Chains A and B, each alone.
Chain A
Amino acid sequence: MATAAAWSEEAARLVWGGAVPLQVHLHDADVTALPPPPPFLTLGPRIGYFPLLVSTIKAHFSSSLPPGVDTVWFEYKGLPLKWYIPIGVLFDLLCADPERPWNLTVHFRGYPADILSPCEGEDSVKWNYNNSLKEAAFIITGNSKNVMNMSQADQLAMWESVRKGDLDSYMNISTKLKLGPFEEDFLVRTSSLEPRQGSDEPESPGSVKPCRVPVRLYVRRVQQDLEYLEDAIPVSDWESVSYINRPFEIRKEGGRSYIALEHALETLLPEFFSSKPAARAADPEPAATTPDSEPKDSDTSPSTHHDEKPPPASPQETDVAKKTKLKLVRVQGIELDMDIPFLWVANNLKNPERFLHVCVYVSA
């Protein structure tokens, strides 16, 4: 009997087939022939990456390109686009009001090396994907051995399926990794099938390993009095976006049989929820159920330790917390209701590298 959080093939097909209409303009400084070439219209796969579009874009602009070879990069309203963030996530984060088509500028010179990590074409994207997949495997199972031990043929086939957006081919290989889906009983499938390879000690039935879900959050601030998303001030620099790479841990001892998206965000972004009385009451829970905190008790008395758990917020911090308010949560272009089951979102809206990318708009 399928549970509410179970994986749905229909959802996966919709996610993998998702695309953003792009209108790519050649940067003025790179135009070497008059009249300037018309913009290039194409679809950018939501789960894909901009460097993978470079070859077709180069072909379109070939008659106008300056001589020489430099790293190609993309920009939206003056902001260089991070090539290692999936196209769909960049769109959800930077276009408060979805812009269709999304107007981008492509540059063939002047790579902003102080802002963007270096990119050597497809190889960089492939290894960025591989390293993210290893990271996700570590989060879920406690080690990356399933990914590290993939055969060369499987590694290549998996990357090809991601590059081409081929879900069937991807499913054939990714099931070998045993990385999910997350079950309602809070155990990933691999945990029930085999013991953790990284652990030498026998696992007692009483201590259930926490289920860890790979999550990457992108928090953007919008003006407080914003009524219409189209009036949002564009992001002008990456420092104003908070990027949080932190897995969400689910523990059975918590006693929750249902975890809403709101609860997950409360845990991952406590500073945006601390003004709520309910969230404040939830703070002691991690202290009570986190075995990792036990060694600290030997340094301080238990009462002192627990008193430290909710740290007395400075007046300034309290003010910020009160002012900030969650406006919007987007995953795969969908504005999610806060009551939606978190595990359904994690199982069905994740990217091929097994991370759930969540765009959060807050007003401050």
Chain B
Amino acid sequence: MGGSSVCDGTLSLDEFNASAKALVTKWSGIDVDNALPDWEWRPCRKMGVPSETEGFVALEGVYRIGAGSQSEESDDDPVPDDVVEHDTWVQSSRDNVHLYDFHIVYSFSYKVPVLYFQGLQSGGQLLTLDEIKKDLPSHSLQLLNESKWTFITREEHPHLSRPWFTLHPCGTSDWMKLLLHKLGDKDRSLQYLSAWLSVVGQAVGLKIPLKLYCNS
């Protein structure tokens, strides 16, 4: 006896996998500009062997210009052939470039996707929380100051055994339930990740191209 698919805002592992592959396919089909790389599926490894059924989705190498370069840019001399000042701007800009990796991992506890992310300086050093705060949208920064322990925390990445920043998933099923309310059963699970990304991406300043939400 098959029960009806009650929309409680959660996903099974199979639904997560299907939604992840739908995201990967649709994203690669969009003519995203060169600034954004592709999402790709990463099978998780157990005892060195890639798993057939478990994995996560990765978007890596997302550039973001640090806030420090803004003031430098505003000081840029309008004379285009000013070589010295131009070099200074380039140098300053390079030093403030941050590189972000985003992973979407399935949580068996909460039955929802969870975002894990980390930032690197151009020299390869990991960004600290204070450095990442400078890249966050202002509303997220405010929320982080209010809910230090339960909004963005540094937790162990389930597949990599290393600390990564993560958005706490305990409220996800509640707001996903609202978001998906009007979709049919099939659309609901396939479009879950795209809808989820529209909220989570905003929280961490990851811009999502609008074409992801168009039927094409």
Alpha-carbon distance A130/B150, docked complex (angstroms) = 10
B35 at the binding interface (Cβ < 8 Å)? no
B77 at the binding interface (Cβ < 8 Å)? no
Alpha-carbon distance A294/B14, docked complex (angstroms) = 10
A198-B173, A245-B108, A245-B158 known; A271-B46 Cβ under 8 A: yes
Task: Give which listed residue, B8, B18, B110, contacts A296 with CB less than 8 A.
Answer: B18
A171: chain B residues within 8 A (beta carbon):
none
A241: chain B residues within 8 A (beta carbon):
161
Alpha-carbon distance A296/B129, docked complex (angstroms) = 40
Binary per-residue interface labels of chain B (16-58) against chain A in the complex, 1 for a CB within 8 Å, 0 otherwise = 0010000000000000000000000000001111001100000
Residue pair A320, B18 in contact (C-beta under 8 Å): no
Alpha-carbon distance A198/B126, docked complex (angstroms) = 39
* Closest Cβ–Cβ distance, residue B178 to chain A (whole Å): 12
B131 at the binding interface (Cβ < 8 Å)? no
B145 at the binding interface (Cβ < 8 Å)? no
Residue of A nearest to B173 (CB): A198
A280 at the binding interface (Cβ < 8 Å)? no
A115: chain B residues within 8 A (beta carbon):
162-163
* Closest Cβ–Cβ distance, residue A233 to chain B (whole Å): 16
Task: Give which listed residue, A130, A138, A299, A320, contacts B186 with CB less than 8 A.
Answer: A299
Residue of A nearest to B168 (CB): A131
Q: Which of A109-168 contact B (CB under 8 A)?
A: 113-118, 123, 127, 130-131, 134-135, 138-139, 142, 144
A238: chain B residues within 8 A (beta carbon):
161
* Closest Cβ–Cβ distance, residue B51 to chain A (whole Å): 8
Residue pair B15, A292 in contact (C-beta under 8 Å): yes
B216 at the binding interface (Cβ < 8 Å)? no
Interface size of A in residues (CB-CB distance below 8 Å): 51
Residue pair B5, A295 in contact (C-beta under 8 Å): yes
Residue of A nearest to B185 (CB): A295
A116: chain B residues within 8 A (beta carbon):
163
Residue pair A246, B189 in contact (C-beta under 8 Å): no
B170 at the binding interface (Cβ < 8 Å)? yes
Alpha-carbon distance A296/B162, docked complex (angstroms) = 34
B83: chain A residues within 8 A (beta carbon):
none
Binary per-residue interface labels of chain B (163-185) against chain A in the complex, 1 for a CB within 8 Å, 0 otherwise = 10000101001100000000001
| A-B interface, 9 closest residue pairs, ranked by CB to CB distance from nearest | A292-B12, A291-B3, A127-B149, A246-B108, A117-B163, A294-B2, A311-B52, A238-B161, A135-B109
Chain B residues proximal to chain A, CB less than 8 Å: 1-3, 5-6, 8, 12, 14-15, 18, 46-49, 52-53, 108-110, 126, 129, 149-150, 153-156, 158, 161-163, 168, 170, 173-174, 185-186, 188-189
18 contacts between A and B (CB under 8 A): A117-B163, A118-B129, A118-B163, A127-B149, A127-B150, A135-B109, A138-B110, A138-B170, A198-B173, A207-B3, A243-B156, A294-B3, A294-B5, A295-B186, A298-B185, A299-B186, A311-B52, A316-B49
